[in-house]
């Protein structure tokens, strides 16, 4: 099987799996228990937090463990807005965010917040100039993803951050799920940042929120003292402990995997450019891990199933919306026709993909085109 769907999720690294299962067997105590097993789990958990903080160049108290990036995004957005309502009620967000951001924003409308959507340009990004032009006295939060999950477009996070931080009452939230460990994330200029373990060969149900120390949040899960009282509930200690290993291994390989994936991306682009039927939708300068393509006369669903039958896994759009509308709203927001948006598939590459798989993919596409009686 060829797996080109790493933006949806990834395999768990054997090293992570091994340590996790050891922890489940031996360190099952509650991190808040006062006995020796509890204290030992607590120590391992805090060591993991310290290691993660040091790799991200933030403080240990700025790491909040959560259950998924959707929870981190919800906590960042709803938690910040509700806690800081007295500062203003205007929020800026890009118009192509993951549903966890979009729906958190929609939820806030019920509490009187005014949500203003920032249109992406034809390269799939929000510009700092646009953010500047939309900031108001009562804007308290700006939220943009770092890398778009459908196109791979990379937002200019550092530039946007400069604009946001000229504004005294405004903070910047960035969904870094698709960028973390693929390109450098400038955590120093982000107030609230989201990372998910299962996108970087870690466990599902494990994620974190980087929350800078001056930021106050309203907890969404009310509970005990865990995670500074911001996220109640017994810690998922084994998952939180192995997250530091997951992150370390991903960061260690970042440059090498980037180069390998770039070659696969370049090869597929070059070969598809020779095929009349095929279009590349991802911008040239997009993250090489994500390649959005479409075929003129074959719809997403048909192409996805035809590739699936040949043992190749791809996505027809962002996986979290795959059971809803049948076109990509990101492509439409970039100015593509609805036809292209209903014909697109997303290839997303990972550390274990090879050039041989890229060649097999191209051959499979040619066969599918021929099977449909279309010319190459
Ligand atoms: N943000 C982005 C950009 C994503 O691509 C995803 C998942 O696809 C998420 C957030 C949600 O991550 P999780 O599955 O950990 O909730």
Domains of the chain listed by start with CATH number? 2-9+253-371 (3.90.1150.10), 14-252 (3.40.640.10)
Pocket test for ligand 1, best of 5, 8, 70, 182 (most atoms within 8 A of CB): 70
Cβ 98 under 6 angstroms from ligand 1: yes
Question: For 64-117, how does the pLDDT look when each residue is reduced to its tens digit (9 = 90+)?
Answer: 999 999 999 999 999 999 999 999 999 999 999 999 999 999 999 999 999 999
Strand order in the sheet with 207-211: 63-66, 207-211, 192-196, 171-175, 139-145, 90-94, 114-118
Q: According to the model, what pLDDT value does residue 339 have? A: 86
300 lines ligand 1 (CB under 6 A): no
The CA distance from 75 to 220, in Å, is 6
Quote the ligand 1 centre to 191 CA distance (angstroms).
Answer: 19
CB atoms closer than 10 angstroms to residue 356: 10
Task: For residue 5, report the distance from its CA to the centre of ligand 1, in Å.
Answer: 13
HSE (side-chain half, CA atoms, 13 Å) at 74? 15
**Range in 24-33, 143-152, 227-236, 331-340 with the lowest mean pLDDT:** 331-340
Look at the chain and count its residues: 376
| Distance of CA 232 from the midpoint of ligand 1 (Å) | 21
Percent of the chain scoring above 90 in pLDDT: 94
Residue 250 CB less than 6 A away from ligand 1? no
C-alpha–C-alpha distance, residues 141 and 43, integer Å: 35
pLDDT over 60 at 189, yes or no: yes
pLDDT tens digit string along 315-337? 996 555 555 666 788 999 999 98
Ligand 1: centre distance to CA 272 (Å)? 28
Q: pTM of whole model > 0.95?
A: yes
pLDDT in tens, 331-357: 999 999 888 889 999 999 999 999 999
What average pLDDT does the segment 295-305 reach?
94
Tell me what pLDDT residue 323 has. 57
- Residue ID of nearest Cα to ligand 1 atom 8: 8
208 within ligand 1 shell (Cβ under 6 A):
no
> Is residue 367 scored above 70 in pLDDT?
yes
Model confidence at 286: pLDDT above 90: yes
Residues annotated as catalytic are 320
68 CA distance to ligand 1 middle (Å):
8
Q: In this structure, are residues 290 and 282 in contact, taking their beta carbons and an 8 Å threshold?
A: yes
> Alpha-carbon distance 367 to 376, whole Å?
10
pLDDT the model gives residue 329: 84
Which backbone phi and psi does 151 adopt, to 5 degrees?
A: -110, -25
Q: Is any ligand 1 atom within 6 A of the Cβ of residue 196?
A: yes
**CB of 68 sitting under 6 A from ligand 1:** yes
Residue 264 is predicted with a pLDDT of 98
Mean pLDDT, the chain, integer: 96
User: Given this model, what pLDDT does residue 376 score?
Assistant: 84
String of DSSP letters for 278-311: EEE-S-TTS-TTEEEEEETTB-HHHHHHHHHHTT
Task: Locate the DSSP E strands across 192-288.
Answer: 192-196, 207-211, 278-280
């Amino acid at each position: 099987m060829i797996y080109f769907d790493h933006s949806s999720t990834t395999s768990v690294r054997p090293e992570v799996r091994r340590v996790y299962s050891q922890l489940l067997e031996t360190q099952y105590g509650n991190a808040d228990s006062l006995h020796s097993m509890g204290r030992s789990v607590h120590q391992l958990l805090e060591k993991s937090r310290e290691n993660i903080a040091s790799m991200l160049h933030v403080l240990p108290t700025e790491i909040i463990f959560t259950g998924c990036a959707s929870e981190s995004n919800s906590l960042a957005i709803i938690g910040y807005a509700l806690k800081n309502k007295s500062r203003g009620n205007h929020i800026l967000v890009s118009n192509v965010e993951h549903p966890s951001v979009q729906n958190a924003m929609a939820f806030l409308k019920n509490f009187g917040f005014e949500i203003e959507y920032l249109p992406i340009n034809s390269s799939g990004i929000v510009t700092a100039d646009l953010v500047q032009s939309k900031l108001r006295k009562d804007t308290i939060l700006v939220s943009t993803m770092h890398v778009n999950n459908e196109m791979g477009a990379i937002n200019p996070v550092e530039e946007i951050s400069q604009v946001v931080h000229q504004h005294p009452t405004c903070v910047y939230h960035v969904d870094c799920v698709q960028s973390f460990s693929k390109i450098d994330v400038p955590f120093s200029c982000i107030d609230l940042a989201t990372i998910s373990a299962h996108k970087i060969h870690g466990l599902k149900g494990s994620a974190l929120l980087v929350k800078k120390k001056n930021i106050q949040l309203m907890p969404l899960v009310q509970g005990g003292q865990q995670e500074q009282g911001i996220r109640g509930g017994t810690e998922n200690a084994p998952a939180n402990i192995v997250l530091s290993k997951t992150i370390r291994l991903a960061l260690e390989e970042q440059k090498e995997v980037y180069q390998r994936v770039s070659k696969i991306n370049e090869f597929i682009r070059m070969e598809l450019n020779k095929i009349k039927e095929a279009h590349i939708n991802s911008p040239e300068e997009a993250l090489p891990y994500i390649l959005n393509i479409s075929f003129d006369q074959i719809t997403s669903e048909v192409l996805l199933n035809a590739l699936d039958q040949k043992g190749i896994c791809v996505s027809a759009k962002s996986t979290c919306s795959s059971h809803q509308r049948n076109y990509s709203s990101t492509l439409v927001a970039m100015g593509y026709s609805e036809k292209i948006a209903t014909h697109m598939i997303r290839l997303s590459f990972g550390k274990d993909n090879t050039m041989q798989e890229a060649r097999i993919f191209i051959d499979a596409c040619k066969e599918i085109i021929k099977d449909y009686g279309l010319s190459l």
